[in-house]
Structure 1
Amino acid sequence: MQSLNISTSAMRGIQQALDNTANNLANIDTNGYKRRVASFSELLSDSMTEQPAADNQNRNTPVGLRVGSGARLGLSKLDLGQGNVKMTDVPTDVAIEGQGYFLVTHKIKDANGAVIQEESRLTRDGSFKVQFDDDEGGYVLHTPSGHILTDNNGVNIVLPEPVQNIEITPEGALTANGVAYGNIGIWKVDNPDQLKQVGQNLFDAELASGENPATKYANAIDEGIATLRQGALEGSNVTMTEEMSQLVNIQRAYQLNSRAIGISDQMMGIANSLRSR
């Protein structure tokens, strides 16, 4: 039975690793996407069959024969490697070079159209578009999902009129028609692995409605770990060859454990047939 449990737990973890690899491949062309790397951890081990005293000499392991219980997917770690920067020459396309995330917001309304709360999200996708927003009473820079870009105080950047000649400096200063509209906020996350993915290439910023992000995150530009490049987009850091190699390894591991289950079932069938004679 132990062999069945070990192989079953391993196949369950391998299936999750396969899902992780499939998600990476599906987002190979997603702007600013960061791949996740699956890592496994060992389950609890049992100590069985006490060893004679003579066998305990010069031993570094605990007394007894240790029998493992298999492995599981312990962590899906975020790979923070820089993606390839693609030049687009679109003024509202912005790529982050270095660490950090854009902070974007979205208003949640009830059935009557009243604003209930404002959710905050983090993203590396800098493909912004200018569009008029009724709630803000002006033109905003928004993501493909409709979230509005904020400044270094966590306040939505609003342009009072349709503008041209938008310029963004490497330090995040935004000007349009020669008028300054604040600095784009780029925020440093100390432990990105703890970020919760909420879909649409967004992470939950875990900020209360209207809360200043400076209370939880440091400004990555002030820290000197990030700069912005206008007219460019950061691509995904997923590498097709690496993911396909990982896919082959996962397939071989799944086949191995599937074969182990089949052999264990045969051995148990032989044992049952011997007892029945």
Structure 2
Amino acid sequence: MQSLNISTSAMRGIQQALDNTANNLSNIDTIGYKRRVASFSELLTDSMNEQPATDNQNRNTPMGIRIGSGAHLGMTKLDLGQGSLKQTDVPTDVLIEGDGYFLVTRKIKDANNITVDEESRFTRNGSFKLSYDDDKGYVLHTSSGHILTDENGANIVFPEPVKNISISPDGTFSADGMPAPVKIGVWDVENPDQLKQVGENLFDAELAFGAGPQSKYTSAYDNGVTLRQGALESSNVSMTEEMSQLVNIQRAYQLNSRAIGISDQMMGIANQLRSR
């Protein structure tokens, strides 16, 4: 029965690794997407220490027999490798060179159109569009409707349409029609693996309503991060690596499936011997 449990737990983890690979492949063309790498860990093991004295003679291994319980998918680690540069020459497209995230927000309103909460999200997707927002003015927003923020966590708002947009490597945003330049906020996350994916290539920044990003994160500019205007970061998913991983997953699944079949045959033989 132990062999069945080991193979079953392994096949369950392999299925989750397959889902992770499929998710990476489906986002190969997603701007700013970071692939995840499946990592397995061992389940609890037992040790049999009470053995006959004859087993201890000429023994080179430590005392006891370790009986494992299989493996499972421990975590899917975020690969922060820089994606390739995609030149677009669109003034509102911004590429982050280095480790950092844009902070974008969206107001949540009740039935009376009163703001009751605010979504704070991180993203590497720098494809922003300039459009009019009824509550604020002209803003830079993502395809999901989240608005880009500045270095203080406030939405970047323009009183009127702007022209001749210029974004410097240090994040300074200036254009004709702006009262004064603003600086785009880019934030450093110490442990990106803890970020929760919420869909649409966004991560939950886990900021309370009204709390600024400075209360939890530091500016990525302090670590040498720069911005590039008119370019986007492609996904860092490699088709070659993912297909190789897919073959390895298939081989592992076949191996454990065969182990279950052999265990079933062994138990069938044992039942037949007992019945005689």
- TM normalised by structure 2 equals 0.95
Q: Which amino acid in structure 2 is aligned with residue 168 of structure 1? A: I
Q: Which amino acid in structure 1 is aligned with residue 36 of structure 2? A: R
Aligned to 2:273: 274
Aligned to 1:55: 56
Aligned to 2:195: 195
Q: Structure 1 CA distance, aligned partners of 2:79 and 2:219?
A: 21
Q: Which amino acid in structure 1 is aligned with residue 243 of structure 2? A: M
How many residues are aligned here?
274
Aligned to 1:154: 153
Q: Structure 2 CA distance, aligned partners of 1:129 and 1:56?
A: 76
Q: Structure 2 vs 1, CA of residues 56 and 234 (structure 1 numbering), >3 Å: closer, same or farther?
A: farther
Deviation per CA, 1:111-160: give whole Å up to 9, x if none: 23221101100000000000111122x10000011100000000000011
- 1:241 counterpart SS class: helix
* Residue pair 2:161, 2:177 contacting (<8 A) in 1 also: no
**Superposition map of 1:41-52 within 5 A:** 41-48=41-48, 50-52=50-52
Q: Structure 2 CA distance, aligned partners of 1:79 and 1:162?
A: 38
Q: Which runs of 5+ in 1 are unaligned?
A: none
Aligned to 2:164: 165
Q: Structure 2 CA distance, aligned partners of 1:23 and 1:7?
A: 24
- 2:170 counterpart SS class: coil
Aligned to 1:123: 123
Q: Which runs of 5+ in 2 are unaligned?
A: none
Deviation per CA, 1:213-233: give whole Å up to 9, x if none: 011111001332x10000000
Q: Structure 2 vs 1, CA of residues 170 and 60 (structure 1 numbering), >3 Å: closer, same or farther?
A: farther
Aligned to 2:250: 251
Aligned to 1:241: 240
Aligned to 1:71: 71
Deviation per CA, 1:226-257: give whole Å up to 9, x if none: 10000000000000000000000000000110
- 2:222 counterpart SS class: coil
Aligned to 1:16: 16
Aligned to 1:105: 105
Q: Structure 1 CA distance, aligned partners of 2:144 and 2:122?
A: 12
**Identity between Structure 1 and Structure 2 (%):** 75
- 1:221 counterpart SS class: helix
**Superposition map of 1:32-47 within 5 A:** 32-47=32-47
Structure 1 position 46, deviation (Å) = 1.0
* Residue pair 1:157, 1:181 contacting (<8 A) in 2 also: no
Q: Which amino acid in structure 1 is aligned with residue 240 of structure 2? A: T
Q: Which amino acid in structure 2 is aligned with residue 90 of structure 1? A: V
Please say if 1:230 is aligned against 2:229: yes
- TM normalised by structure 1 equals 0.95
Q: Structure 2 vs 1, CA of residues 105 and 52 (structure 1 numbering), >3 Å: closer, same or farther?
A: same
- 2:163 counterpart SS class: coil
